[in-house]
Amino acid sequence: EIVLTQSPATLSLSPGERATLSCRASQSVSSYLAWYQQKPGQAPRLLIYDASNKATGIPARFSGSGSGTDFTLTISSLEPEDFAVYYCQQRSNWPPMYTFGQGTKLEIK
């Protein structure tokens, strides 16, 4: 079973700053890596799929990169609405299951 480890657990930044969130897999996941944003009381929202593709309606300030075992979500200039919890997710070929990272909380400094 593939384990996803996100870092840091908490990231404290100010609006306008650049955010870099990391997700490391215990073994290669090819490019089947997705990122989600979750705000309190809401379901997660898909931001990035296949490591670097933006989902529909996602602002240009969000970008994803990486392959194999190391992936990054970058928010180029933080807006107030970006402060939330971010999760990475992968789906392995075998066993054919999804797994999530433990999340990174992006909080206002």
Partner 1 sequence: QVQLQESGPGLVKPSQTLSLTCTVSGGSISSGGYYWSWIRQHPGKGLEWIGYIYYSGSTYYNPSLKSRVTISVDTSKNQFSMKLSSVTAADTAVYYCARGVTGYTDYWGQGTLVTVSS
In a 13 Å sphere around the CA of 65, the CA atoms on its Cβ side amount to 5
Query: Does 74 sit near partner 1 (CB under 8 A)?
Result: no
Query: Does 14 sit near partner 1 (CB under 8 A)?
Result: no
Q: Output the smallest distance, CB 68 to partner 1, in A.
A: 14
Which of 46, 58, 61, 72 touches partner 1 by CB under 8 A? 46
Beta-strand pair 10-13/104-108: parallel
When the beta carbons of 18 and 98 are compared against partner 1, the nearer one is 98
When the beta carbons of 14 and 42 are compared against partner 1, the nearer one is 42
d(CA 45, CA 47): 6
Is the omega angle on the peptide bond into residue 8 within 30 degrees of 0, that is, cis?
yes
What are the backbone dihedrals phi and psi of residue 80, each rounded to the nearest 5 degrees, phi first?
Answer: -55, -35
Q: Under the rule (CB under 8 A), what is the footprint of partner 1? A: 1, 31-34, 36, 42-46, 49-50, 55, 87, 89-91, 95-103
